[in-house]
Amino acid sequence: MTDTSRIPVDVVQAALRAAERLGKDVADVPVQEIAHEAGISRSTLLRRLGGSRQALDAAVSAAGVDPGGQRPVRERAIEAGAHLIGEHGLAALTLEAVAAAARCSVPSLYAAIGGRDELLRAIFERHMPLMNVDEVIADPDADLRETVNRIYRLLAEAFTREPRVLPAMLAEALARPGGPDLQRLLQHFTPRKLAGLGQWLAGQMAAGRIRTLPIPLLIQQMIAPAVMHFVLRPAIEQIPGLEPPSVEETCAVFAEAFLRATATP
């Protein structure tokens, strides 16, 4: 068994600080960085460690921290931020709160992902329902009914999975439509994603599969009813005798309704 008692506490703490600063697991932090954090030379640190990293990693583990088992800071921060937004709203997303939830330091957040705006964009990109729509509409000659159904399944997944980031974003949009955070997100993501969906719809109209209608209204007709359903679905599920159909059936119904309203005979 490795003797951890000979590893000074200040060396263990220096290793933990260096790991947080670099956004890495302790086991991945170079000895030179730990020595710098401890304010000693590399050779002095190695002498204290007995010439091997093994004792240090064991001492870190004995202190209650997995020296090499944590996911990268970026991944932990995105997950922690998403849970904060889903549970408490957009205002809860502060770097201090994310660092505490992700078990890292604020400087390590800056090193791994940037500031609050960059973190918010990363969270939104992971949970935005239309992020994968380009893959769904990539083949303009694919079956129209199946493609529309897959778009609804994307929406359903984004609005029903935990953490519920999209419902929180929608609540923010309704409460503060001019909020700076929301405006930055919409300016960054929405134009290019809705443009791709709009181009696909325009192609379907040109091919004669969908009636000629204004693109913005077509997009709204496709998305708005499903969004309202999935936002309200948790409340509907609590009403006795008003159990909604399964998510799969719901997507099929919305797809059928959209095609009945817009598809050519």
Model pLDDT, residue 161: 82
Residue-level pLDDT at 67: 66
Residues 6+ apart with CB under 8 A from 162: 86
Supply the pLDDT for residue 171. 79
Answer yes or no: is 2 within a domain: no
Q: Mean pLDDT over all residues of the chain?
A: 84
* Confidence band of 259 (pLDDT split at 50, 70, 90): very high
Give residue 1's pLDDT: 42
Task: Give the single-character DSSP code of 4.
Answer: -
Residue 256 and residue 141 share a domain:
yes
Q: Is residue 1 part of a domain?
A: no
Please, are residues 32 and 42 in contact by the beta-carbon 8 Å criterion?
yes
Query: Is 68 among the domain residues?
Result: no
In terms of domains, do 51 and 141 share one? Answer: no
Interatomic CA distance for residues 166 and 36, integer angstroms: 43
Contacts (Cβ under 8 Å, ≥6 apart) of 164: 86
Please state the domain count of the chain.
Answer: 3
Chain segment 48-99, per-residue pLDDT in tens: 887 777 778 778 777 766 666 566 788 889 999 999 999 998 889 999 999 8
Q: 95-102 vs 73-88: helix axis angle to the nearest 10?
A: 120
27 DSSP 8-state letter: G
**Residue 193 confidence class, pLDDT cut points 50, 70, 90:** low
Report residue 98 as tokens.
């994310």
Angle at CA of residue 198, ends 186 and 207, nearest 5°: 175
Task: With a cut of 60, say whether residue 2 has pLDDT above it.
Answer: no
pLDDT of 109 strictly over 50: yes
- Give the single-character DSSP code of 140: T
Q: Residue 168's domain is classified under what CATH number?
A: 1.10.357.10
Residue bearing the bigger pLDDT, 220 or 131: 220
Could you tell me if 132 and 122 lie in one domain?
no
Residues belonging to the chain? 265
Structural domain ending residue among the three candidates 105, 126, 147: 126
| pTM recorded for the entire structure | 0.64
pLDDT on residue 180 = 79
CATH code for the domain in which residue 31 is found = 1.10.10
Same domain, 86 and 193: no
Residues 139 and 122 in one domain: no
Residue given tokens 């897959």 in the structure block: 150
235 contacts: CB under 8 Å, gap ≥ 6: none
Answer yes or no: do 137 and 236 share one domain.
Answer: yes
**Domain encompassing residue 164:** 128-262
Q: Where are the alpha helices (DSSP H) in the chain?
A: 9-22, 31-38, 42-48, 54-62, 73-88, 95-102, 106-112, 116-127, 133-136, 144-160, 165-175, 180-206, 215-236, 247-262
- Work out the angle between the directed axes of helices 31-38 and 9-22 (0-180°, nearest 10): 120
